Amino acid sequence: MQPDDIVMIDDVDQGRRPIVTDGDEKQSTSEALAVCPGVGLAHDSLPTDSIDELRSTWGPVLELWEGHAADDWLRFEASSGGVSSALAIHAIEDRGLAGLLHIRSRPDRAYLNETVLSRSRAEILSAVGSRYAPASPCDGLHLVEAADSPSVMIGKPCDIAGAQNARRVRPELDEKLGLTIAVFCAGTPTLRGTFEMLEAMGITDPDTIESLRYRGHGWPGQATATVRRPDGEVDVHSLTYEQSWGEILQRHRQWRCYVCADHTGEFADIAVGDPWYRPPSVEEPGRSLILVRSERGREMLRSAIRAGAIVAVPVDPARLPDAQPWLERVRGEAGARAATLRLLRIPAPVYRNMPYWSVWRRVLPLRDKLRSTFGTIRRIPRKRLLQRHPARPLEPGRPAPPEER
């Protein structure tokens, strides 16, 4: 939306941020704000044909499956079981979709992400794996709109919700978004998180890295960065998932993620996450939990299974809360945090038809109930929630924001 007026930039401590290109704070951004998922999320209604016991906490879920990409190499390389990439490849190779809008590591600065419309298996395979750093795939929606036939999109829940909002006001985009796949998301760490992670690996200058992945090569795999030495040899630096995500990255999640009620892609056709209900075994090749969220998603998953692109079995609805107890709690906590802030007239997202008080009451122990409400008030000065936070672009040459807003 408004590509001539707004660009996305990387701010090390805040994440990917939209800034107005000519620095004119008075310029209207109403078109973009109207579809921005940061402002709020809303289901028109919760479909009654979705699974009853999951509806109020997890949004519309028509079917729950567990499986993996049939291609062993893709399964090994990917984040959980490679289902997201396998579905996209099936949609392009067997169903004639034009391409896949998603993100990948930037070739020139591996710790930054860029949006691409991949059109081949090779391009998709080169971008598999979760990247625990800011990314904004919606900034490539114009590529989807301009393609000859419909495309697939993969993104976080907020990315997919943004695309869903945009398609409502852009009929051409609506026609061209052939399938949306959300990856579950506990929150996106800022680049500061990546820099700290690299430091823990012994890398002090992020610009020396040649490649960076956060997971994959088994489930959940390791965070691995490579650095080419002057003599041409390559040094490989790794941290376990517990060290990288558990001890470093998750502490750097952005504030918007702390008040987010959708961590499982409620607005997508298909959502994919980790089956954490069991600890990974040694040399685990990986599996994905698959949520069918729309008729379109149901049809494409069945087609991919029939074609042998994905191996999956239906599982009991109870497996979702078993696999994601943390995301269940977060639904209640985040909703309560946002409601508390709104009560104090501090900007926070608004959620409609996404119940969270029921989860708050049922799932959270008293201590966490208090933390998510009264504790949020304590966070207001600590997180400086009453102030504006001007975005500061990491890269020179990108448009500078106004000094003061």
Ligand X SMILES: Cc1cc2nc3c(=O)[nH]c(=O)nc-3n(C[C@H](O)[C@H](O)[C@H](O)COP(=O)(O)OP(=O)(O)OC[C@H]3O[C@@H](n4cnc5c(N)ncnc54)[C@H](O)[C@@H]3O)c2cc1C
Q: What does the alpha-carbon distance between residue 33 and residue 319 come to, in Å, rounded to a whole number? A: 36
Does 85 participate in binding ligand X (rule CB under 6 A)?
A: yes
Q: Which residue's CB is nearer to ligand X, number 137 or number 150?
A: 137
Radius of gyration of the chain (CA): 20
Classify 234 in phi/psi space as left (phi over 0), alpha (psi -120 to 50) or beta.
beta
List of long-range contacts for 324-328, beta carbons under 8 Å, 24+ apart:
324/184, 324/264, 324/273, 324/274, 324/276, 324/289, 326/186, 327/184, 327/186, 327/263, 327/264, 327/273, 328/57, 328/58, 328/359, 328/363
Does 65 participate in binding ligand X (rule CB under 6 A)?
A: no
Q: Which residue's CB is nearer to ligand X, number 20 or number 330?
A: 330
DSSP category for residue 221: B
Look at strands 177-183 and 270-273 and give their pairing.
Answer: parallel
Does 156 participate in binding ligand X (rule CB under 6 A)?
A: yes
**Binders of ligand X among 324-383, rule CB under 6 A?**
327
Question: Taking the complex as a whole, how short is the minimal distance between the CB of residue 266 and ligand X, in angstroms?
Answer: 14
Secondary structure class of 161 (helix, strand, coil):
helix
Pattern 190-219, binding to ligand X, x per CB under 6 A? ------------------------------
Does 67 participate in binding ligand X (rule CB under 6 A)?
A: no
Q: Which residue's CB is nearer to ligand X, number 102 or number 256?
A: 102
Contact (CB, 8 A) for 64 and 58: no
Question: Taking the complex as a whole, how short is the minimal distance between the CB of residue 404 and ligand X, in angstroms?
Answer: 31
Tokens of 215: 């997971």
Among 14, 130, 194, 224, which residue sits at the site for ligand X (rule: CB under 6 A)? 130
Look at strands 310-314 and 63-69 and give their pairing.
Answer: antiparallel
Does 180 participate in binding ligand X (rule CB under 6 A)?
A: no
Burial of residue 361 (CB within 10 Å: 0-12, 13-18, 19+) is exposed
Among 58, 65, 76, 184, which residue sits at the site for ligand X (rule: CB under 6 A)? 184
Secondary structure class of 80 (helix, strand, coil):
coil
Q: Which stretch binds ligand X (CB under 6 A): 12-20, 154-162, 296-304, 377-385?
A: 154-162
Question: Taking the complex as a whole, how short is the minimal distance between the CB of residue 377 and ligand X, in angstroms?
Answer: 26
Among 161, 179, 183, 304, which residue sits at the site for ligand X (rule: CB under 6 A)? 183
**Binders of ligand X among 276-335, rule CB under 6 A?**
288, 327
Among 8, 9, 101, 127, which residue sits at the site for ligand X (rule: CB under 6 A)? 127
Q: Using CB under 6 A, list all residues that contact ligand X.
A: 78-85, 102-104, 127-132, 135, 137, 154-156, 159, 183-186, 188, 272-274, 288, 327
